[in-house]
Each structure stands twice: as structure tokens, then as C-alpha cells.
Amino acid sequence: MATNLLNYDARRLADFCAEIGEKPFRAKQLLRWIHQSGVTDFVAMSDLAKGLREKLSALAVIESPQIMSDHEASDGTRKWLLAVGAGNGIETVFIPETNRGTLCVSSQVGCALACTFCSTGKQGFNRNLTVAEIIGQLWMANKLLKPDTEDVSPGTQRVVTNVVMMGMGEPLANFDNVVMALDLMLDDHAYGLSRRKVTVSTSGLVPALDRLRERCPVALAVSLHAPNDDLRDQLVPINKKYPLKELLAACQRYLAVAPRDFVTFEYVMLDGVNDSVSHAHELIKLVQDIPCKFNLIPFNSFPGSGFKRSSAESVRVFRDILLQAGLVTTVRKTRGDDIAAACGQLAGQVMDKTRRTANARAACIK
């Protein structure tokens, strides 16, 4: 079976070159052709020796997940459904803005953490994505979004300027493959992104967060969604294993080496569940010792969710309380609603056969 070079970071690509009798510097050339130019035909890699191109054509391939569907929303948001075998699909979303283009990348097929308000969590967990399936999302997006040009030389300008690991799955539950993909995103011979422009979002796997701090610190977002353990246990079940005190201590440790001097706390606004004035004041007290900012996320409903979006007035009041306390707080603009690309909709139309969401919501509002 041919070797898919999208699975290799610089070190592993150098090892592969050595295995086929080539010098390690060839790895950097390959990285530029593969990730900067998006070239899949080894014959077209003009600065490689003919003999090497022939070896690569015989032994290797460059393959990203196949596109099953491609949708563009009225606001310019673009969502791809990608095939990853055995009838499974993952989704990747590109969000264009005036001065940047952000790609939301998936890390798993499904998710085992079962956050009760998340569409992806309702489909359960299938498997971790490979490095090729993770970095292949960025590779594919750059290839499809770049301006029409005949120039395929390494270093041509790319549309994706920021990457957020906020798609399907919990990134830190697929630690090794995610980190290798991060290495490629940061590698100047591949995508050359700044650590400040690559964000990993986690629901709170504390040991893995400590490992990320040591191995590859990038910008950090934490799916908080509740100001106390009782409520968070219901909304984000992993909290039962790693409660807020442990999670926030890990955030403090992470900030010591993080490329940004704050943590972004994500907080989905659920009507009658976590959006009251008292919740806002409790939240202020919870994070008083942590440099942070809040991203309030209007809930995006999906069939059988059991939750409703907080009213615009409730969101405004909640935001203003946080702002008055000196916390930088934004309300996420909903994007891609008409193609189900908005945050929390990344699993498509799925059925909740376990009634887990309905039961959890009932517990939340008792």
C-alpha cells in the first residue's frame, strides 16, 4: 500500500526520505510542494531529482479526504462534508471575514464527551481522525479557496489565515494526531501559521491540556458553558471527572507558556438553563483570578436538541454584566445557519435515540 505523505510531519517525512535512500533536506522540499503548493503529482515537483520523483510516484501518494458535498451560505460561509470511510463523514467549515479567513477543523468522527447541547455529541463516537484526515482539511481548503492562478510554486498566498480546532470531536482526546497536525500548521515549510492564529478548543481534559502546554502550546479556548459544577456536570459531563477547580488551575498553568495572555471561555446561551443574571454574577466570581475573555454563543437549535436559544435581551443583559465587571466579552455572530454550519450543528441531522439530551435538560432546569 502506498504511503500517504499527508500523514507525516517534518521529522517523519525526513525519516521516510532516509528509508528510500534520500537526504533529509528533501523533506523540506516535499513539505513546500505538498502543503504550500497543494501539488499531488510528484512529476510536477520540478526541483526534485527525476529519480526521486520516480521513487515517490511508485511508493507514495498525497490524499486528503474525499468531498461528499460542498455548500456555501448566503453570508459566504462554506461547509464541506468529507468522507472518511465506512460510511462516515466529517465536516469542515470556512468562515470568511474582512481581514482574515478562519477554518474550523474536525478531529474525530463523532465525539464521546456527549455535551448535551451539541449536535455532534448526539451521534456518539466512532474513531479518531488520522493526521492526514486532520491536516487534509486545511490542505483541501487552501487548494479550493485560493484565487484562480496557474502559479503552483511554494509560497503562493493562501486564504486561510486562522485555524480553530472546534469542529467535530474533542481535539485533546486525539492528542498525538492533533499535535502532529498542529506541528504542520506551524511549520514554515508547510503552512507557517503563528501560534496565536491556531486555537485548540477543549471541553476540559485536564491531563491532556497539561501535555499540550508542554508539547505544542497554541491559543486556548475552553468550552465552559456553566458557572458551577452542578450545572456543568449536566451540560458537559466530562466535568464530573475534571471539575471546574481542576480545569481552571490547568488554564492558569497553560497561560504561563501560551502565545496569548488570556484564555477564551466559550459559553453557549441556553434559554432558562445558564443565562440568568445570577449565572452571570457567579461566572464573574469563578474566573476572577484568570486572565480571560468570554465568547457568548447563541445556541443553534437542531432536531431533538431539547434546548432553546436565549433571547437577544437575555444575551445583552448577560454580556453587559460581564463587561461591567471588566471582562472582555463578545457575542459570536451566527454564521452559516442556512447550511447548518453554525457552531453546534456540525453533525447534521441526527436522531437522539437515547433521549440523553431531553433528560439532561430536564435535570438542568429543576
For residue 108, the surrounding DSSP H or E stretch is strand 108-110
The residue from 111, 216, 343, 364 that is catalytic is 343
For residue 136, the surrounding DSSP H or E stretch is helix 131-145
Nearest-angstrom CA–CA distance, 183 and 195: 10
**Cβ atoms 144, 66 nearer than 8 A:** no
Helix pair 175-186, 131-145: axis angle to 10 deg: 40
**Cβ atoms 361, 327 nearer than 8 A:** no
**Cβ atoms 62, 40 nearer than 8 A:** yes
On the 0-12 / 13-18 / 19+ scale of CB atoms within 10 A, 302 is buried
Which has the closest alpha carbon to 166: 225, 91, 236?
91
What grid cell was written down for 17? 526520505
DSSP H helix total and E strand total for the chain: 11, 14
Place of cell 435515540: 353
- Give the bridge partners for 127, in sequence order: 109
Does the annotation count 364 as an active-site position? no
Residues 6+ apart with CB under 8 A from 224: 232, 265, 266, 267
**Cβ atoms 289, 249 nearer than 8 A:** no
Does the annotation count 91 as an active-site position? yes
The residue from 91, 133, 170, 266 that is catalytic is 91
Helix (H, G, I), strand (E, B) or coil at 29: helix
What grid cell was written down for 312? 437577544
Catalytic positions, written as ranges: 91, 343
